[in-house]
Amino acid sequence: MTKISYVNQISEKTLKKMEDGLKEYELSHGIHVDYTPFAFEIYNENGDVIGVLDAFSSYSSIHFYNQYLLVRGFCYI
């Protein structure tokens, strides 16, 4: 019987299996996603991190996962 489980974080083993499967599918269909993760870190004048934009690029698009900004003691997401 098929089972679906909710998880807070994908295990390393499952993540590798998923990524390998997606890569195999892409290559077999002539797809080149060019997935590249990156982030922008924002620092104040004291060198403290006050913001982060967590993102990735694929093809000619940029996709943002998370954004965090701390201004005057308040967190904005």
Residue 5, pLDDT above cutoff 80: yes
Cβ-based neighbours of 33, under 8 Å, separated by 6 or more:
26, 58, 59
Alpha-carbon dihedral angle through residues 28, 31, 37, 38, given to the nearest 10 degrees = 150
Tell me the domain boundaries of the chain. 33-77
3 state DSSP class of 26: helix
Residue 76, pLDDT above cutoff 70: no
Confidence at residue 72, expressed as pLDDT on a 0 to 100 scale: 67
pTM greater than 0.85 (yes/no): no
Confidence at residue 38, expressed as pLDDT on a 0 to 100 scale: 92
The string of pLDDT tens digits covering residues 20-74 is: 888 888 888 887 777 788 999 999 888 988 889 889 887 778 888 888 877 766 6
Q: Where are the beta strands (DSSP E) in the chain?
A: 36-43, 49-58, 61-71, 74-76
